[in-house]
Chain A
């Protein structure tokens, strides 16, 4: 039997030691009436057979498109060394480092990950990651609720609608009132936001660059929030963080991000990781696993899981969060990716993406009837308004193996003609030219 090493002789010896005649006796505690009505599974297959089957399934997915689809999940180049290192069995076949002395590799890597993401966002403290970028926003909101002991929060409509729909599921149960502040042409409406802010508010949540791609200055909003005792939560795009003003410099208390763009494949939605960073004043509100530096009796530096008094295995129903598993292997990939690129590599990756997006915007807006949704600065993603519906343009272009972007219709009624177009360093200028030619030909 695959992966089960016991020979018939060994099974006999083991049964004898235990003092039972056969394996079935070991299951005598399961009452007869609980025995399965059926267990109708296919017979086992060889490794080759399963691989053939899975390769055939993989071939049913079409990945041969030139795609300008981003919307929070990005196709940036991943250096080969990321796969090579993260696939070392010493990393991926270990578990949560409960035995610190036998887990210094994982622990030091998490400590370095915490350091790297804090430096990227200008924050003091990070955890070892949570499930994804949406969960990170949810956990950040819960941090604010605990810290301020308030139960309302404001979130901008320009924050990813994919995350906002998910937040609604959780906040409703928790007695947290999460109010969405409407966008104005794809931008955060600061007047509306400040009008909605009051001293009952636990937090404000924004995203920069926002879901439409726009880059804005949140310093004034965050200052107003602070003056009313609310925390400021910013959701960031880590690759672009190498260029953009840090959330901390604008006054954010908590910065979260979907970490996928830093070295993880798109993989149909996961595994990804939620990056969570905050100021040191909020360290004790941080959920999940956190690694700290310490020493052994001989003064040798080492790393341990710390501040565990916040966690479910100690606090049970009074824990800061129910989270147990994190996305440690994904965090390791992010760290390796950041180390391989360094500041200069990451900045180049970001800037090459930005340059291509601006070229694309220029080409597209040269087409009669195509315009940008707003005139705000943008990084590598922007929203164009087409003369016809975005979904229709999308289906037309897909016939020629092009995905022009993400149509906003589904999440933003009234923006049926709007399309979010994303470029990364992987796009060729000729791909962008072809995209523009094809969209031009549609009109």
Chain B
């Protein structure tokens, strides 16, 4: 499809405003003004509407397709939460309003939403305090790592390392490194953390261990009670990566289990839309011992029931966000939690886990599942055998699924499974959808055996065939104005 810039026609009128009476040089010296226009497109409103409507049709999304992208929790995003987030009372409030004196009075609604969401997250996770400032999971991890650093520094502890299992999300080691820690990888055994490998890596220099539980293989860390004690005995803290919190709502709370710091991905567990890559939201919860280090500002409630922003936390790590986080996303998660309530949230995890196990069992005849036992909300299959036998790799299966109208699972992650195919159905998909996915995957697996070239030629029903990623990286055509690099 042509770019929006190619559709531009000089002189065509878009959504213009009143013609200014003056020119810019009446106010600002000509030397400080731009020489020529930016060359944004000139289009009618219909041109723009049609361009983006057509672009939208080139996308798969949860609204139109099953989207079992493991680890990403692509569940249904309720429509009413969009309406709630767009209420003018919320959408039109200036973020600096509470900084004007007496003005916290005009922000009571938004401050109450933040306060109440923090309280609900505390109860859901068993942590003692939350900040909603981090704007994505990785931002939450970084915030958590900074809190861990501040906690140890405050006690004069010389701690330089953070341990991450080899099954961890890539953001864990990246966030720990950015917070200034040396990252050490711990090998898994039988798909879960090996207490012996952990013991070998644990020493005085370890500040924290970052765990995802259930882990990225969809398996619960069965040695958790033992692991928690080992880590605390070594004087280290335990970080809970909440990417998979949607598997354990009402079944386990990280705070009760002994985790000291955690983040929650509101865009996963609490159904806020993923937006093609964001915005997300990654609130961080901590135990009481770590609460003094939380970022500022914090929302507090006074004796009269009024909410205000408090900046007076001398041990705080400071600001991790300019304002109060992705407030619009927080609103949607708050509305979702209120809508589902206690029983609904428990059901979310139960049905997500049941759906994953149902798919696992139904697919075990056509896919190799390296850790084939009761899983949590997702499981990881492997296309290694078919890759060796017929050359049909995880990537090929993924593309063939697109042709049948299903978004592909996550592939090639976690790194500890070769040719990984990571499937997360979520609780919002009906059994009919799951059955159709199974049948389609079975057909693809059969085709992979007798006509592997057909599978390798997928996708055929998409707007484009398989795209040449090497060419993209070599040419580096990153805007419509850049010619291919030589």
Contacts and interface: CB of A to CB of B under 8 A. Distances in A.
Contacts of A297: 465-466, 468
Nearest to A316: B173
A45 B14 contact: no
Interface in B427-467: 427-431, 459, 462-467
A182 interface: no
Contact of B469 (A280, A306, A323, A351): A306
A50 B463 CA distance: 40
Given A3-B428, A10-B431, A126 B135 contact: no
A339 B250 contact: no
B72 A166 contact: no
Interface residues of B, number: 208
A250 B19 CA distance: 29
A1 B328 contact: no
Interface in A178-222: 215-217
A427 interface: no
A94 B374 contact: no
B393 interface: no
B222 A165 contact: no
B366 interface: no
B59 A90 contact: yes
A308 B476 CA distance: 12
Given A302-B464, A335-B4, 19 more contacts: A26-B376, A29-B222, A35-B256, A50-B335, A55-B87, A95-B74, A119-B39, A131-B139, A265-B91, A271-B278, A283-B476, A295-B471, A302-B463, A318-B177, A322-B142, A322-B171, A327-B279, A350-B24, A406-B100
B388 interface: no
Interface stretch (A147-155, A223-231, A241-249, A366-374): A241-249
Contact of B138 (A298, A302, A323): A323
Given A37-B126, A67-B94, A271-B329, A57 B109 contact: yes
Interface residues of A, number: 205
Contact of B225 (A2, A31, A87, A134): A31
Interface string A165-182: 110111001110000000
A297 B168 CA distance: 35
B460 to A, nearest CB: 10
A35 B123 CA distance: 14
Interface string A305-349: 011110111111111011111111110100110111111111111
B182 to A, nearest CB: 8
Interface stretch (B25-33, B194-202, B231-239, B283-291): B25-33
B344 A39 contact: no
A122 B317 CA distance: 37
27 contacts: A2-B339, A2-B344, A6-B354, A10-B430, A11-B354, A38-B126, A51-B84, A75-B92, A98-B408, A105-B57, A114-B478, A120-B40, A132-B321, A134-B322, A168-B319, A217-B31, A270-B135, A289-B277, A295-B468, A296-B465, A297-B465, A322-B174, A328-B275, A341-B40, A352-B20, A394-B101, A403-B97
A317 to B, nearest CB: 4
Contacts of A51: 80, 83-84
Contacts of B324: 268-270
Contact of B178 (A96, A322, A394, A425): A322
A84 interface: yes
Contacts of B389: none
Interface in A1-35: 1-6, 10-11, 13-15, 17-20, 23, 25-31, 33-35
B217 interface: no
A249 B327 contact: no
Contacts of B279: 131, 270-271, 273, 325, 327-330
Interface string A262-287: 00011111110100000010010000
B225 A33 contact: yes
Contacts of B469: 294, 304, 306
Contacts of A5: 428-431
A368 to B, nearest CB: 24
Interface in A357-400: 358, 377-379, 391, 394-395, 398
Given A132-B322, A298-B465, A243 B28 contact: yes
B38 A241 contact: yes
A317 B183 contact: yes
